[in-house]
Chain A
Amino acid sequence: DTAVSQTPKYLVTQMGNDKSIKCEQNLGHDTMYWYKQDSKKFLKIMFSYNNKELIINETVPNRFSPKSPDKAHLNLHINSLELGDSAVYFCASSPRPGLAGGTDTQYFGPGTRLTVL
């Protein structure tokens, strides 16, 4: 069974379009994250949700809007896509939020490669 799954795996779209990436975890974790990995392989956190509530919101354009319908899902919606949005987006989960510190390991999804033309 896949612990953290993302759909789609690949997404190719035109500039200006709106798209969504879905993430689901079946680990029973309370906390989920979205990361962006750029062309230089640098991974940076974008958002973190704990029990459907936003706890980390790094400086990302407000064209990016996370939505958490329940604690097993954290979807990422992107409006008015730009060329610079092309990257691999990773979803992750952990039992508790990073702010709690402690022992938690993050589990990552396989990533969604977004290409904006």
Chain B
Amino acid sequence: KQEVTQIPAALSVPEGENLVLNCSFTDSAIYNLQWFRQDPGKGLTSLLLIQSSQREQTSGRLNASLDKSSGRSTLYIAASQPGDSATYLCAPHGNQFYFGTGTSLTVIP
């Protein structure tokens, strides 16, 4: 069974900093990996989807990388803003999605 770990569990940075969120998973037999954002009391918003054949995917200030063989993915956020404050979840997708417990990000103005 897939186990997903996200480090750090919580992160607080001043506005403007670049930051990296880490995700590791135990079963590398995945089709793709998705990064989500969850705002307090809200649903999940999909940020990026990386196919298993891809190494990285970019959307605006976000860049996600995937190293399937080592079971790792990172989400890089450039020039962080207070509006980026949320919980970020990674979900490797094998026969179903498994979610990590997330990284709670606070960007301080």
A residues touching B (Cβ–Cβ < 8 Å)? 4, 33, 35, 40-45, 48, 56, 90, 92, 98-99, 101-103, 105-111, 113
Q: Quick one: given A40-B101, A41-B87, A41-B102, are A99 and B43 in contact (CB under 8 Å)? A: no
**B42, B46, B96: which contacts A56 (Cβ < 8 A)?**
B96
Whole-angstrom CA separation of A48 from B43 in the bound complex? 18
Cβ of A48: which chain B residues have Cβ within 8 Å of it? 96
Whole-angstrom CA separation of A56 from B93 in the bound complex? 14
Q: Name, among B43, B98, B101, the residue most crowded by chain A CB atoms within 10 Å (CB to CB).
A: B43
Contact with A along B60-103 (1 / 0, CB 8 A): 00000000000000000000000000010101011111110110
Report whether B46 and A111 are in contact in the complex, using a CB–CB cutoff of 8 Å: no
Q: Quick one: given A40-B101, A42-B101, are A106 and B95 in contact (CB under 8 Å)? A: no
Whole-angstrom CA separation of A113 from B31 in the bound complex? 31
Looking at the assembled complex, report how far the CB atom of B62 sits from the nearest CB atom of chain A, in whole angstroms.
15
Cβ of B38: which chain A residues have Cβ within 8 Å of it? 41
Whole-angstrom CA separation of A41 from B4 in the bound complex? 13
Looking at the assembled complex, report how far the CB atom of A98 sits from the nearest CB atom of chain B, in whole angstroms.
5
Looking at the assembled complex, report how far the CB atom of B29 sits from the nearest CB atom of chain A, in whole angstroms.
10
Whole-angstrom CA separation of A94 from B97 in the bound complex? 11
Size class of B's contact patch?
A: 20 to 34
Whole-angstrom CA separation of A106 from B45 in the bound complex? 9
Report whether B93 and A98 are in contact in the complex, using a CB–CB cutoff of 8 Å: yes
Report whether A41 and B32 are in contact in the complex, using a CB–CB cutoff of 8 Å: no
Looking at the assembled complex, report how far the CB atom of A76 sits from the nearest CB atom of chain B, in whole angstroms.
15
Cβ of A101: which chain B residues have Cβ within 8 Å of it? 31-32, 93
Residue of B nearest to A92 (CB): B44
Q: Quick one: given A42-B101, A43-B89, A111-B42, are A103 and B96 in contact (CB under 8 Å)? A: no
Whole-angstrom CA separation of A45 from B91 in the bound complex? 11
Report whether A103 and B51 are in contact in the complex, using a CB–CB cutoff of 8 Å: yes
Report whether A110 and B43 are in contact in the complex, using a CB–CB cutoff of 8 Å: yes
